């Protein structure tokens, strides 16, 4: 992901933002997004999902974060297509397959920093 962002000239940061998120259980947990890309007042948080035992907990955290975040923050999930199909729409603002990282990076790069956020159609599940 970083190599693609560098090749397209998209500046990014690693774990530079830190949030506290209240889960449905009432627990408050830290959330440090993997990658951050800024486009004017818009902030893209990029979360690669790699699977594993902790993924259901991670998806719960992402969904709770979305319920509590500012509209200027865009949570982007990147995962292999077969895994992406299983991610609930409540856990992201935008989702892209990791098989084509150029698409997600181009979307961030092309976002007008002074313009409105382009709508992302989510599947209905």
CATH number for the domain spanning 16: value is 3.40.1350
Q: DSSP assignment, residue 40?
A: T
Q: What is the pLDDT of residue 119?
A: 82
Q: What is the pLDDT of residue 125?
A: 52
Return the residue matching tokens 């709770």: 64
Q: What is the pLDDT of residue 116?
A: 84
Task: Give the global pTM.
Answer: 0.91
**Cβ neighbour number for residue 29 with a 10 Å cutoff:** 15
Q: Domain residues for 106?
A: 2-110
Residue 58, domain member (yes or no): yes
Could you tell me if 79 and 98 are in contact, meaning their C-beta atoms sit under 8 angstroms apart? yes
Could you tell me if 98 and 83 are in contact, meaning their C-beta atoms sit under 8 angstroms apart? no
Provide the H-helix boundaries in the chain.
2-7, 55-68, 81-84, 101-110
Residue 83, domain member (yes or no): yes
Q: What is the pLDDT of residue 26?
A: 95
Predicted confidence pLDDT, tens digits, the chain (125 residues) = 999 999 999 999 999 999 999 999 999 999 999 999 999 899 999 999 977 656 888 999 999 999 998 888 999 999 999 888 889 999 999 999 999 899 999 999 999 988 888 888 887 65
Residue 118, domain member (yes or no): no
Q: How many domains does the chain have?
A: 1
| 113: phi then psi, degrees, rounded to nearest 5 | -65, -20
Residue 121, domain member (yes or no): no
Residue 125, domain member (yes or no): no
């Amino acid at each position: 992901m970083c190599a693609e962002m560098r090749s397209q000239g998209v500046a990014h940061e690693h774990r530079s933002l830190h949030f506290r998120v209240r889960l449905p259980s009432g627990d408050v947990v830290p959330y440090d997004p993997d990658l951050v890309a800024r486009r004017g007042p818009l902030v893209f948080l990029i979360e690669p999902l790699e699977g594993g035992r902790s993924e259901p907990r991670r998806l719960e955290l992402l969904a709770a974060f979305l319920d509590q975040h500012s509209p200027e923050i865009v949570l982007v999930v990147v995962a292999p297509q077969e895994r992406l199909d299983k991610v609930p729409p409540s856990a992201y603002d935008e989702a892209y397959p990791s098989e084509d990282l150029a698409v997600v990076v181009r979307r961030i790069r092309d976002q007008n920093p002074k313009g409105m956020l382009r709508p992302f159609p989510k599947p209905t599940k």
